[in-house]
Amino acid sequence: MAALRLYRHLLQPPQCCRLSSRAAQAFPVLRGDILPIHRHVYEANSRNSDRCRERYLELTEKVKLGGGENAILRHTQRNKKLLARERLKLLLDNENFLELSPLVGLGLPYGDVPSAGCLAGIGKICGIWCMIIANDATVKGGTAYPITVKKQLRMQEIALQNRLPTVYLVDSGGAFLPLQAQLFPDKEHGGRTFYNEAIMSALKIPQVAVVCGSCTAGGAYIPTMAEETIIVDRIGTIFLAGPPLVKAATGEDVTAEELGGAKLHSRVSGCVDHFAATEQEAYSCARLIVSTLNFDPPPDSCADFEDPLYDTRELGGLAPRDYSCTLDIKLILSRLVDGSKFLEFKADYGTTLVTGFAAVEGYLVGIVASNGALTHDAALKGSHFVQICNQRNIPLLFLQNTTSQEPLPPSLSKAEVLMNRLKAQASMMASIACASVPKITLVVGGCHGGESFAMCGRSFEPNFFFLWPNARIGLIDADCAPPSRLEEWDRSEDGEEFTDLLTRLKEESSAFYSSARLWDDGVILPEDTRQVLSKCLQIINQRKYERATFHSSPVLRM
């Protein structure tokens, strides 16, 4: 199964089309005015979006502090190391960095692990988009919690799906020992990171590592499995067991430097390939390595595009507070796509799903957007449109706002309607699962029930999966459960249990709860959506500029 997935990506032709501005200009313009009759819904959504935005900013500030002030002082003053964000500044061309899943790791059963103790995202090095995975040693010495492993594996998956060279900045005490049972033994646990490095190398996705701190135990394999590795003198160390363990086992006193320092590994063991006297030198060296990767740097973002005709700041008022506050999805589209222009496909058929072509900052996309329940006709139309985009190599953008509310069939004929809807949704799911074009999913409202799968939910492997802060994710939509059934339950003996369940359901459905568990690639603000989508499309587009041909053997360290 894994092999099948790998080869599907491998066989994908270069994706993503830049739309000539002339072609885009010919598309019809969407009407995006908010009518007075919708003003109260708009205001209710705005108030909710403001609250969600505040929470988003609060959490963003919190994770920026990593392990806290004392840990930062220990890291910078005692250990004389740069912070993960300072390292990124030296490594990347500029601040054009798509940070992924920054809010992961908050409020987990084992406590807060800000950003899962590892900063990750996609930025340009020497003009090439690269995936960067950087341990944050201010969070418990950069040790790997279960959520850290999950984040690293997801980042590798994104790098694999989008064929991004991957640079690891390793500064980690290895496994967080109290939780070893949750991060060592299973398939999708720590060892998978090393397996992926080999597989990606074999698929000609370059693997580069900088040892800029401790690489203990499991951490030691990341630089050793990489194709090319740099180590920083007096800061970088690699060993399977540190000095205290050596002392305990053999009684010998040995320093970290003697046991696995930069000189030892660059001169004696050959575990690394480049010695850097300072961190600055190490990141310059990493940039030079990336410049040898044989890519033609893709052009900078397309300057030739029109802004939407409607204000993107109004998106907060269109982000549904709950399903009943949903306005026409075309109001959102008119604030996301170039010139508010949209070439609709099957405009009068299955109207609860909107499909069509548009450009985002000059990049052509096929849009599939929820505009109500995914009926039989809507699902058939979705399936047809996905196949067209796949045929033409056009990336797909899903805007999801689904609910779990299923009307109970009052008659046999109604049951038949529902069965037909189910069959059409299954066909849409199959079209999406088998489409090899890149997919981006953005949850603008609800992500509930079976329809969420047909709108390219997480399990359908979109290349990127983002949430707006107002998004709600859960099997059942707590605000939309069929009222008759709820009232019945509420009045029953289990009334109290029911209230608790509903409270938990609401809490567990929040975008922040989801993002903390890495069920998505991050929460993004509505007003930033165009820029984020544009970056994703540029990243996807990079494949066109790769010169290397495929082969199937990793680079082995000799």
CB-based contacts of 241, cutoff 8 Å, min separation 6: 216, 217, 249
Work out whether 182 is an interface residue with ligand COA (CB under 6 A): no
As measured in angstroms, the least distance from the Cβ of 198 to ligand COA is: 21
Is residue 66 a contact residue for ligand COA (CB under 6 A)?
no
Q: How far apart are CA 357 and CA 366, in angstroms?
A: 5
Burial class (CB in 10 A: 0-12, 13-18, 19+), 359: buried
SS3 15: coil
105 binds ligand COA per the rule CB under 6 A? no
Question: Is the distance from CB of 167 to CB of 208 less than 8 angstroms?
Answer: yes
Select from 117, 141, 395, 526 the one that contacts ligand COA (CB under 6 A).
141
β-strands 274-276, 237-239: how paired?
unpaired
Q: Kindly indicate which of the ranges 137-145, 203-211, 263-271, 462-470 contains the residues binding ligand COA, using the contact rule CB under 6 A.
A: 137-145
190 forms part of the interface with ligand COA (CB under 6 A): no
Piece of the chain touching ligand COA by CB under 6 A; list 10-18, 173-181, 204-212, 220-228:
173-181
Residue 252 CB, nearest approach to ligand COA (Å):
16
Residue nearest to ligand COA (CB): 173
H helix or E strand, kind and range, residue 484: helix 483-491
Per CB under 6 A, which of residues 419..478 are in contact with ligand COA?
none
Decide whether 101 or 143 has the Cβ nearer to ligand COA.
Answer: 143
* Paired tokens of 186: 């299973």
Q: Which is nearer to ligand COA, 151 or 204 (CB)?
A: 151
Specify which residues 442 forms β-bridges with. 399, 466
* 117 touches ligand COA by CB under 6 A: no
Contact code string over 19-58 relative to ligand COA, x by CB under 6 A: ----------------------------------------
Minimum distance between the CB of residue 330 and ligand COA, rounded to whole angstroms?
51
- What distance in Å separates the CA atoms of residue 358 and residue 378, rounded to the nearest whole number? 19
Name the minimum Å distance from CB 105 to ligand COA: 15
In the complex with ligand COA, the residue whose CB is nearer, 214 or 402, is 214
CB 175, min distance to ligand COA, A: 4
Q: For residue 386, how many other CB atoms are within 10 A of its CB? A: 28
79, 387, 393, 420: residue in contact with ligand COA (rule CB under 6 A):
79
Minimum distance, C-beta of residue 453 to ligand COA, in the bound complex (Å): 38
| Tokens representing residue 427 in the block | 């066909």
Nearer to ligand COA, 137 or 272 (CB): 137
Secondary structure of 499-549 in HEC code, one letter for each residue: HHHHHHHHHHCEHHHHHHCCCCCCECCHHHHHHHHHHHHHHHHHHHHECCC
Tokens 């640079």 identify what position? 167
Please give the angle made by the CA atoms of 501, 104 and 172, to the nearest 5 degrees. Answer: 135
**Per CB under 6 A, which of residues 202..221 are in contact with ligand COA?**
214, 216-217
CB of 119 to ligand COA, least distance (A): 17
Least separation in angstroms between residue 237's CB and ligand COA is: 8
With H, G, I as helix, E, B as strand and everything else as coil, classify residue 264.
helix
The reply on whether position 154 binds ligand COA by CB under 6 A is no
Q: How near is the Cβ of 17 to ligand COA at its closest, in Å? A: 47
Q: Say how many CA atoms lie within 13 Å of 199 toward its Cβ.
A: 20
What's the CA gap between 520 and 326, in Å, rounded?
A: 22
Could you say whether residue 372 binds ligand COA (CB under 6 A)?
no
For binding to ligand COA (CB under 6 A), which residues are involved? 74, 79, 140-141, 143, 173-177, 214, 216-217, 242
